[in-house]
Amino acid sequence: MWTQRFKTGLLITTTAACVLAATACGPAQPQGSTSPATSPATGSTSAPPSPSASPSPTGSATGTSATEGLCKAASLKGSLDSSGGGAAGSVYMKLLLTNSGTTPCVLEGFAGVSLTADATGEPIGAPAERDETQPVVQVQLAPGQAGVAVLRYTQAGNYSDCTAVDAAGYRVYPPNDTASLFIAQPQRACSNAVIKLLSVTTFQAS
């Protein structure tokens, strides 16, 4: 009888221990498992964020292209359009510089202009004054395109103290260039440099 009571008491004691320590007797949580995260505000389950994609280069650029250099005399062709008319003894002409090269270039600023005895001769008299009535802008010229400035020539006969000589045309230095080109157009010039027969504006798009 004592032995039976001992076995029964052991069984009861073991059962009570399992009730008091349910977590010890129940199945263990699998290692490495993760429960979905639940939003405390909505109660919904949120998935983990996906990896963000790396941004791809756009290839776009702003401003003037760095590959477009300044227009130089060697790749320009000069011409004059005298259809602008005249007033008070002056003639207004369009000075056109056309890109005769194979790549785009930029005109920016004033040309240097003088009357000259021939295509290779020295300038005669004073060079053209700068007429600053128009702003300086960048004029981008594709091959075959031209920039235009207004060239004013005042008749040499207007000046009683002019030492008049014949000029064969105009020597033109493009903006920011030390080389020049020649435009043939006979004119009377004043060899004394105190008399200023010419003025020129900055280049604009034609």
Query: Model confidence over 45-64: pLDDT tens digits?
Result: 444 443 333 333 322 222 34
What residue ranges do the domains of the chain occupy? 69-205
**Is residue 165 scored above 70 in pLDDT?**
yes
Both tokens of residue 159?
A: 């000046």
- pLDDT in the model for residue 148: 98
| Cα–Cα separations (whole angstroms), residue 149 to 23, 40, 201, 205 | 95, 73, 5, 9
Give yes or no for residue 188 having a pLDDT over 50.
yes
Encoded amino acid at 134, one letter? Q
pLDDT of residue 75: 97
Contact 107, 147 (CB under 8 A): yes
Looking at per-residue pLDDT, the higher value among 23 and 77 belongs to 77
pLDDT tens for 107-123 read 999 999 999 999 988 89
Give pLDDT tens digits for 20-40.
344 444 444 444 444 444 444
Q: Which residue bears the tokens 């395109």?
A: 145
| Percent share of the chain, pLDDT over 70 | 67
Cα→Cα distances 166→124, 155, 170, 182, Å: 9, 12, 12, 16
Beta bridge pairs of residue 152 = 92, 199
Assess whether pLDDT exceeds 70 at residue 201. yes
Predicted model pTM: 0.67
Q: Residue 109 and residue 138: Cα distance in Å, rounded?
A: 8
pLDDT reported for residue 121: 87
Percentage of residues in the chain having pLDDT higher than 90:
60
How high is the pLDDT of residue 68?
Answer: 75
> What are 73's two structure tokens?
């005399």
Cα 74 from chain centre: 24
Q: Tell me how crowded residue 182 is: count the other CB atoms within 10 A of its CB.
A: 17
- Judged by average pLDDT, the poorest of 15-19, 65-69, 169-173 is 15-19
Average pLDDT estimate for 125-141: 97
Nearest to 151 by CA among 204, 100, 194, 102: 204
> pLDDT category, 67, cuts 50, 70, 90?
low
Q: What is the DSSP letter of 177?
A: -
pLDDT value, residue 51: 38
* Choices 3.40.50, 1.10.287, 2.60.40, 1.10.10: CATH for 69-205: 2.60.40
What does the alpha-carbon distance between residue 33 and residue 122 come to, in Å, rounded to a whole number? Answer: 94
Average pLDDT, the chain: 77
- Cβ atoms 131, 152 nearer than 8 A: yes
Rounded to 5 degrees, what are φ and ψ at 27? -70, 145
Judge whether 137 and 147 are in contact, CB under 8 Å. no
- Residue 103 in tokens: 């790549």
Asked if pLDDT for residue 170 goes beyond 80, the answer is yes
Give the DSSP letter of residue 144: T
Give the pLDDT score at 83.
80
Length of the chain equals 206
